[in-house]
Amino acid sequence: MSDLRALILAFAYVGAVVAVGEGAYRLGLPRPWARKVIHVGVGLWIIGTALLFESRFVAAVPAAVAAIGNYVIHRRRLLGSVAADAENLGTVWFPISFALLILLAWNEHAAMIGGVLAMTLGDAVASTVGLRWGRRRYETLGGHIKSLEGSLAMFGVTLVTTLAVLRQLAPALSPAGTWGLAGLAAVAATCAEGLGIKGRDNLWVPLGTGLVLWAGLRLFPHLLPGLGAGAVLSAAIGALAWLKRWLTPSGALGAVLTGTPVFGLGGWTGGLALVAFFLSGSLLSRFFRSRKAQVEAEFAKTGTRDLGQALANGGVAAAAALGYAWTGELPWMGALLGSLAAASADTWATELGVLARSAPRLITTLRPAPPGTSGAVSLNGLAAAVGGAAFVGAVAAAVEPLWWRLLPHLALAGLFGSLVDSLLGATVQAVYWCPRCHKETERTVHRCGSPTRLHRGFPVVSNDLVNLLATLAGAAAGFWLAAGA
């Protein structure tokens, strides 16, 4: 009978919250505020769910019924307080995520409650702050506009809420682990909210945050301090880089996805090597912009990195950081540094090689080619590649002196990755031809507005894929050289 009483109480509570919100709206409360009354009030029921129900299946019934009922209400616009655009199904997605977290995380109440409260409290404050004080705006999926101020509010509220939940429901977790998991969950919730369109953040935020909390508590509690610090640090760097226009909004997300494992699991050696690559490449892309403008116009992408570029340049390093955390063996750190050395070598060669007075030559035929041509190399570019790889290695060695002895190995690994990039660029990377301008380009639509046709290579082999394979080659070389040292 306890579950039956809890079920009755659940329907009575939710009905009362909806009645209060709708009544307030009809009495003059603006719709956004009335909607928040209902959103927050209903979301807080997750605490009652954990306290009163014994069966997860019965506990999920009110949320499942609410999802169906909200769909009917939304389509027929029966309640003015929660009315939204036809494509915005936020009132439906929220109870669905509510029910799924009950069913999937019932045995880990911290994950269940923390996931729902991230959306309940964090999103409510984020939207309020964003609408009222949002000045630094960015465009997310589907052209939807968010603000940095709103995202920071989302992070802060989720951090505080998750800390409170973990201290109450996961007391065995160490203080460092508690802070680390709260930081990791807050970053995850903020990224999910920033990607939300058409109300889908009501699904992504609770489930994403709940998954992070569950995995952190069940699978890798010993890694939480490092991963949490890595997530917060990479998110801060991503935000600052976006403000500097070094990264697009999606590039900032890429910085979080790659930076979290590299900073969190690779320690200061891997983390500062990543900073060295990113910072040096971003600064070099700003030098001599007028001289490089003509060449950059033909590139598929310019100096402001997006998600694809961030993953292509840092994804292998992130995977190597996981291997290093799993094994603790030096070759995996060699792979991490080798991949970043290759990414840095390629970036330095691209940014500085195009400034050479003499024409570069294709790596396959040694025939002269226009500056910036995929697969073209020059003495200046090769020297820059060695310098970029050595710079990353030197930063790593400054943290861990062991790498001074292996610095030539890292320089070779980086140069090898850069040469692989050039070879792939000259053979399989997609290069297009503009019939109007009679020029090669990496763009499917030339800057003149004319559609281009495939000139050589394969359409699926993009610049990002080539960069990914080049960093993989650098990682393999770094792994092998470190293993043999």
- pLDDT tens digits, residue range 396-432? 999 999 999 999 999 999 999 999 999 999 999 988 8
Give the number of other CB atoms < 10 A from CB of residue 5: 11
In whole numbers, what is the pLDDT of the chain averaged over residues?
91
> What is the pLDDT at residue 292?
56
Of 352 and 479, the structure prediction assigns the larger pLDDT to 479
Pair of tokens at residue 89: 């199904």
Contact 408, 401 (CB under 8 A): no
Reported as a pLDDT band with limits 50, 70 and 90, residue 286 is confident
Q: Rounded mean pLDDT of 14-22?
A: 95
pLDDT band at 288 (very low <50, low <70, confident <90, very high): low
Q: What is the mean pLDDT of residues 44-57?
A: 96
- CA–CA dist 269, 408 (Å, integer): 17
Q: Is the pLDDT of residue 301 over 60?
A: no
- Find all residues with CB under 8 Å of 452, minimum gap 6, and list them: 432, 433, 434, 435, 441, 443, 444, 445, 446
pLDDT for the residue numbered 350: 86
Q: How confident is the model at residue 294 (pLDDT cuts 50, 70, 90)?
A: low
Considering the chain, what percentage of its residues have pLDDT values greater than 70?
Answer: 96
Residues in Cβ contact with 470 at an 8 Å cutoff, skipping those fewer than 6 apart: 342, 343, 346, 417, 418, 420, 421, 424
The predicted pLDDT at position 311 comes to: 94
How many CB atoms are located within 10 Å of the residue 227 CB?
Answer: 24
Structure-token pair, residue 227: 């991963």
Mean pLDDT of 432-436: 85
**Mean pLDDT to the nearest integer, 55-79:** 94
Q: How far is CA 405 from CA 267, 340, 410, in A?
A: 19, 18, 10
* Beta strands at 137-139 and 376-377: parallel, antiparallel or unpaired: unpaired
Phi and psi, residue 438, nearest 5°? 55, 50
* Separation of alpha carbons 64 and 174, rounded Å: 36
- The CB density around residue 57, as the number of other CB atoms within 10 Å, is 12
Mean pLDDT over residues 383-403, rounded?
95
- Identify the pLDDT of residue 411: 95
Beta-carbon neighbour count of residue 273 at 10 Å?
31
Per-residue pLDDT, averaged over 272-287, amounts to 89
More confident residue, 297 or 159: 159
Mean pLDDT calculated for residue range 196-219: 92
Residue with the bigger pLDDT between 297 and 211: it is 211
103 close to 60: Cβ distance less than 8 angstroms: yes
Helix axes 90-104, 31-43, angle to 10 degrees: 10
- Please state the separation of Cα 34 from the chain's center in Å: 33
Nearest to 176 by CA among 237, 241, 228, 109: 228
Going by pLDDT thresholds of 50, 70 and 90, the confidence category of residue 205 is very high
Q: What is the pLDDT of residue 22?
A: 94
Name the maximum alpha-carbon separation found in the chain: 85
Residue 87 φ/ψ, nearest 5 degrees: -85, -10
Of the ranges 101-110, 251-260, 367-376, 414-423, which one carries the lowest mean pLDDT score? 367-376
How many C-alpha atoms does 337 have within 13 Å on its Cβ side? 37
Say if residue 218's pLDDT is above 90: yes
> From CA 112, how far away is CA 132, in angstroms rounded?
30
Residue 163 has pLDDT above 60, yes or no: yes
User: What is the per-residue pLDDT for 144?
Assistant: 78
Beta strands across the sheet bearing 439-441: 439-441, 431-434, 453-456
* pLDDT bracket for residue 197 (50, 70, 90): confident
b/e 419-454 (16+ beta carbons within 10 angstroms → b): bbbbbbbbbbbbbbebeeeebbbbeeebeeeeebee
pLDDT bucket at 466, cuts 50 / 70 / 90: very high
SS3 (DSSP) at 296: helix
Structure tokens at 273: 């090597």
3-class state of residue 370 by DSSP: coil
Q: Which of 11-20, 189-198, 229-238 has the lowest mean pLDDT?
A: 189-198
> Residue 228: which residues within 8 A CB-CB, separation 6 or more?
179, 180, 181, 182, 183, 184, 264
CA 207 centroid distance within chain? 16
Q: What is the pTM of this model?
A: 0.88
Write out the H or E segment, with its range, that includes residue 145. Answer: strand 145-147
Residue 284 is predicted with a pLDDT of: 86
**Region 111-129 average pLDDT:** 95
Mean pLDDT of 221-239: 95
Beta bridge partners of 377: 361
Pair 470, 479: CB distance under 8 Å: no
Total Cβ atoms within 10 A of residue 194: 24
Q: Reply yes or no on whether the pLDDT at 485 is more than 60.
A: yes
Angle (nearest 5°) at CA 113 between 29 and 325: 130
Distance CA 140, CA 130 (A): 14
Mean pLDDT of 245-249: 89
Cβ 108 vs Cβ 209: under 8 Å: no
CA end-to-end distance (rounded Å), the chain = 69
pLDDT band at 436 (very low <50, low <70, confident <90, very high): confident
pLDDT at 299: 58
Quote the pLDDT of residue 289.
Answer: 63
Would you say residue 468 has pLDDT above 80?
A: yes
What integer is the mean pLDDT of 19-28? 94
